[in-house]
Amino acid sequence: MGITLPIAFTTKMKKLLGSDFEAFMASYEEMRLYGLRLNRLKIDEEQFFRISPLADRLRPIPWAQGGFYYEEGDRPGKHPHYHAGLYYIQEPSAMAPAELLDVKPGHKVLDLCAAPGGKSTQLAAKLQGRGVLVANDNARERTKALAKNIELAGVRNAVVLNEEPEALAPVFAGYFDRILVDAPCSGEGMFRKEESMITQWERHSVERCAVMQHDILRHAAAMLAPGGRLVYSTCTFSPEENEAQIASLLAEDPELSVWRVSLAHGWAAGRPDWIGLQDGEDELIDNQLKDLGEIKQEISGTVRLWPHLVKGEGHYAAVLIREGLNDGTGHSPAEHPHTPEQQHSPELKGRRERGGSKGRDRKGKERFSKDRDGKGLNTAVQPLSGRGASKGRKDGGGLLRKAETEMTPEQRWQEFAASNVRGTEAWQGKLISYGSRVYLQPDGVPSLDGLRVVRAGWFLGEAGRYKFEPSQPLAMGLGMQEAVRSLQLRADDEGATRYLKGETLHMTAADIAAYPLEREGDESKTGNVPADPKGYVLVCIDGYPVGWGKWDAGTLKNELAAGWRLT
Ligand SMILES: C[S@@+](CC[C@H](N)C(=O)[O-])C[C@H]1O[C@@H](n2cnc3c(N)ncnc32)[C@H](O)[C@@H]1O
């Protein structure tokens, strides 16, 4: 066997697994499996199979919509389709929790421990652009990758936060229809995929993880709407981090119950009989409001994915339901009793007051922090006539110049959209700006005042003194035909690779056009050549946007930001 497992780990697993231990250990002799998941916000299976060179070698992952095993040598992360956000590379078992959350378009969804964003992009695809996704992670550095993956996937209705669950709970009390807690854990299920997890396991003990998980879970539960659903998942085997966590939550919150997962695809039942085997664990379910026998019965409805029983790594998942009615498509916070204004929990109310005041200094000014791109980020929503506008006023020149510089960042966007993007009048959401950066925030998001905001919504671009610069996330979130000017490249064109590497391309005005993707047997371009081909062009590969270019007199200047280029 190539992997050396810690003795403390194998000893414990032997005690737990008994006669299954041999089969479990044999799984470490086998190769890990590789998975990718199609981004159904952009593409379905049929279309993907038509355009992808991987099509013949992909095999479906039975528990995940659009999930496929690929071969190690295929390197899908290097293909232009990856840069177009057509799929996300994700370990097969890791696709299970988001499937269990049963997200429907229109839901308000929280991914509480979200970085680097695999499950967030999966949840966003299930929302199909309707409702809200709040993706949060408390590790500041990791939220960079989280925001980028959400943007690469073309998600338009997400807010990205960098907070502790304790700070979110009062702001979003009872707000979410669906919550995913993909908890930080000791990672025992990932030893085969990533040997470095073994060192981390030795450093972050199971006990420490269990304390952290308990804290995260109870705050998560406070944010779940009546009738809402919460999925708790880990990639570890230890019962202290799995069944015992759920048992203690059920004991504390009698409105929660386990929704029994059906055991298909080789999935195995949770193990209530393993609760209490470890020292001190009984304390977790002290003061229970529910009978222990009843709780243990419920725990058998949670699920374990074992590496010797499924084609994937080790995982655990529990689905919990909060008592109450929910039509499944979301509701405004004012419609139910768990709103911030109608707190019934004195503990949460106290925390909200503390959290709210955290965002202001003694003089009542709004707190600023840096956003992930290093820009000064106002943590409060900028009003339409806010800071960005007054900045322009200071250095106005002649009358026209003065009027131009007095435009708010939102107005700058609208001016840009009018000549570059089709159909924005029909977009749902609220335009807001933080400094010069303009976002489209999904409707119904409460004030984020006082929270560390990484993305306040879909980042549309940055307003300058006289112009608006469209962002990379705007390009990724548009459909090809939403741009006034587009350039169609094919994945196997040399031009596609050159564009992704950041090079300038040369072409005539006739190449800059909005025209449909060539279909088999139809080589003709049938679209409209824009009246003025000069300006921003949405560069597409096989019909899917990858970034902006700026065309003028035969040259397409490459606008792909450094962090988005093919290296
Ligand atoms: C298992 S990973 C999440 C993987 C992610 N769901 C995905 O699918 O890409 C756990 C995450 O929890 C984050 N985390 C740890 N403690 C946290 C806390 N108290 N609140 C929120 N996130 C936390 C870690 O930074 C880490 O990114």
Higher pLDDT, 146 or 418: 146
385: exposed, middle or buried (C-beta count within 10 Å: 0-12, 13-18, 19+)?
exposed
pLDDT tens-digit series, residues 463-481 = 999 999 999 999 999 999 8
Q: Whose CA is nearest to atom 25 of ligand 1?
A: 139
d(CA 250, CA 244): 10
- pLDDT at site 519: 40
Question: Which of 20, 28, 11 lies closest to 268, judged by CA?
Answer: 20
Flag the least confident range among 76-90, 305-319, 353-367, 525-539: 353-367
Q: Is 209 a catalytic residue?
A: no
Quick one: average pLDDT of 18-39? Answer: 93
- pLDDT at site 567: 84
Q: Which amino acid is at 401?
A: R
- pLDDT at site 506: 95
Helix (H), strand (E) at residue 60: strand 59-60
Neighbours of 391 (CB within 10 A): 15
What's the 210 CA to ligand 1 centre distance in angstroms?
14
d(CA 484, CA 532): 10
Higher pLDDT, 354 or 547: 547
- pLDDT at site 20: 95
d(CA 111, CA 161): 10
The number of residues making up the chain comes to: 567
Q: Is the pLDDT of residue 375 over 70?
A: no
Ligand 1 contact, 214 CB (< 6 A): no
Beta-sheet pairing, 132-136 with 108-111: parallel
Flag the least confident range among 153-167, 278-292, 365-379: 365-379
Quick one: average pLDDT of 538-555? Answer: 96
262: exposed, middle or buried (C-beta count within 10 Å: 0-12, 13-18, 19+)?
exposed
pLDDT tens-digit series, residues 47-58 = 999 999 999 999
Ligand 1 contact, 142 CB (< 6 A): yes
C-alpha torsion angle, residues 431, 435, 437, 440 (rounded to 10) = -20
Position in ligand 1 atom list of the atom nearest CA 116: 9
pLDDT range class, residue 511, cuts 50, 70, 90: confident
d(CA 307, CA 21): 12
- pLDDT at site 439: 98
Judge whether 96 is annotated as a binding position.
no
pLDDT tens-digit series, residues 285-309 = 555 556 788 899 999 999 999 999 9
- pLDDT at site 336: 34
Name every residue whose Cβ is closer than 8 Å to that of residue 407 and which is 6 or more positions away in sequence.
389, 392, 415, 463
Q: Is the pLDDT of residue 40 over 50?
A: yes
The residues pairing with 439 across neighbouring beta strands, listed in sequence order, are 432, 459
What average pLDDT does the structure give for the chain? 84
What's the 146 CA to ligand 1 centre distance in angstroms?
10
What Cα–Cα distance (Å) separates residue 551 from each residue in 284, 418, 469, 554, 556?
Answer: 63, 18, 14, 7, 4
What Cα–Cα distance (Å) separates residue 199 from each residue in 191, 308, 430?
Answer: 10, 23, 46
- pLDDT at site 346: 27
Q: Is the pLDDT of residue 191 over 70?
A: yes
d(CA 551, CA 538): 10
- pLDDT at site 355: 32
Quick one: average pLDDT of 444-466? Answer: 96
d(CA 131, CA 329): 8
In a 3-state reduction of DSSP, which class is residue 303? strand
d(CA 226, CA 36): 34
Domains of the chain and CATH, by start: 33-89 (3.30.70.1170), 95-322 (3.40.50.150), 380-475 (no CATH), 478-564 (2.30.130.60)
Question: Which of 317, 342, 327, 344 lies closest to 242, judged by CA?
Answer: 317
Ligand 1 contact, 95 CB (< 6 A): no
pLDDT range class, residue 444, cuts 50, 70, 90: very high
Helix (H), strand (E) at residue 476: helix 472-477
Higher pLDDT, 360 or 213: 213
Q: What are the φ/ψ torsions at residue 86 (nearest 5 degrees)?
A: -80, -20
Q: Is the pLDDT of residue 213 over 60?
A: yes
Rg over alpha carbons for the chain, rounded to the nearest Å, is 25
CA angle 111, 117, 123 (to 5 degrees): 55
pLDDT tens-digit series, residues 240-280 = 999 999 999 999 999 999 999 999 999 999 999 999 855 54
Ligand 1 contact, 140 CB (< 6 A): no
What's the 112 CA to ligand 1 centre distance in angstroms?
7
Q: Is the pLDDT of residue 515 over 60?
A: no
Judge whether 495 is annotated as a binding position.
no
- pLDDT at site 4: 83
d(CA 337, CA 350): 17
Task: Please report how the helices 142-152 and 118-127 are oriented relative to each other, as an axis angle in degrees rounded to 10.
Answer: 30
pLDDT range class, residue 11, cuts 50, 70, 90: very high
pLDDT range class, residue 386, cuts 50, 70, 90: very low
> One of 185, 209, 235, 540 is an active-site residue; which one?
235
Q: Residue 332 carries which DSSP code? A: -
Name every residue whose Cβ is closer than 8 Å to that of residue 159 and which is 6 or more positions away in sequence.
132, 133, 134, 135, 441, 442, 445, 448, 453, 455, 456, 457
Judge whether 244 is annotated as a binding position.
no
pLDDT range class, residue 329, cuts 50, 70, 90: low
d(CA 482, CA 199): 48
- pLDDT at site 3: 80
Q: Residue 428 carries which DSSP code? A: -
Instruction: Provide the token pair at 470.
Output: 């469209």
pLDDT range class, residue 383, cuts 50, 70, 90: very low
What's the 114 CA to ligand 1 centre distance in angstroms?
5
pLDDT range class, residue 169, cuts 50, 70, 90: very high
pLDDT range class, residue 178, cuts 50, 70, 90: very high
CB 513 within 8 A of CB 530: yes
- pLDDT at site 286: 54
What's the 56 CA to ligand 1 centre distance in angstroms?
35
Flag the least confident range among 365-374, 504-513, 554-563: 365-374
Higher pLDDT, 15 or 292: 15
Q: Is the pLDDT of residue 493 over 80?
A: yes
d(CA 543, CA 284): 54
Q: Is the pLDDT of residue 554 over 70?
A: yes
d(CA 361, CA 375): 20
- pLDDT at site 190: 80
Which residue of 88, 109, 138, 218 sits with most ligand 1 atoms within 8 Å of its CB, as the best mutation to test the pocket?
138
The separation between CA 473 and the C-alpha centre of its own chain, rounded to angstroms, equals 14
Q: Is the pLDDT of residue 152 over 90?
A: yes
